Chain A
């Protein structure tokens, strides 16, 4: 069990470019969550997957954001046409559905849009 891995740790991109982040959850965890954390705030829920199905999306997740979890393993979060307001830490977490308090977070991907 190597924990939740996120890649890259840091990403600097120019406004208007597309970026993609990857999250590898704990292998036996069937639930996967994406959160966004801006400076001085707590994490905010973006979306979650149970196995490969994306079951809920926050209204924070605009049309420029898309997330996938093919085969119920790793997940990707893509942001198209990045804006400066997208600059944030993007955190991934995983859990077992029957142990709802056992969330494990990754170290996050820090995105800076210049």
Chain B
């Protein structure tokens, strides 16, 4: 079974500082994908970054980077130069790379608050 664990219910960060949001996962599948989504109060899930299990390099997208440690089964999100607009819920998710639904399994999320 797939499981995503986010152990930080809430995090605070000073504006312009970097912050790391933790995510560990559990799967027996050899091939899978890892995602981070941002959910502001409006409710929409906004895609931030993707890492494939066979990707050799850590994914980066602008101010977002994913610290992928396959042996530890962790996929932490690093947000650099935090902005007030980064305040939101952040969800880590995993997808099995098999035939079928390819649906996402989500963690319970981390609420990030950026302090001016």
Contacts and interface: CB of A to CB of B under 8 A. Distances in A.
A69 to B, nearest CB: 14
A43 B104 contact: yes
Nearest to A104: B47
Interface string A40-79: 1111110010000001100000000000000000000000
Contacts of A26: none
A103 to B, nearest CB: 7
Contacts of B103: 33, 45, 48, 56
B45 interface: yes
Contacts, number: 62
Interface string A13-41: 00000000000000000010101000011
B102 to A, nearest CB: 5
Interface in A82-112: 89, 91, 93, 95, 100-108, 110
A42 B43 contact: no
Interface in B62-116: 91, 93, 95, 97, 100-109
B37 to A, nearest CB: 8
Contacts of A107: 42-44
Given A42-B107, A42-B109, A100-B33, A48 B101 contact: yes
B116 to A, nearest CB: 26
Most B Cβ at <10 Å: residue of A45, A48, A100, A106: A100
B29 to A, nearest CB: 14
A103 B104 contact: yes
29 contacts: A31-B102, A40-B108, A41-B109, A42-B4, A42-B91, A42-B106, A42-B107, A44-B106, A45-B101, A45-B103, A48-B103, A55-B100, A55-B101, A56-B100, A56-B101, A56-B103, A89-B43, A91-B45, A100-B95, A100-B102, A101-B35, A102-B47, A104-B47, A105-B37, A105-B44, A105-B45, A107-B42, A108-B44, A110-B43
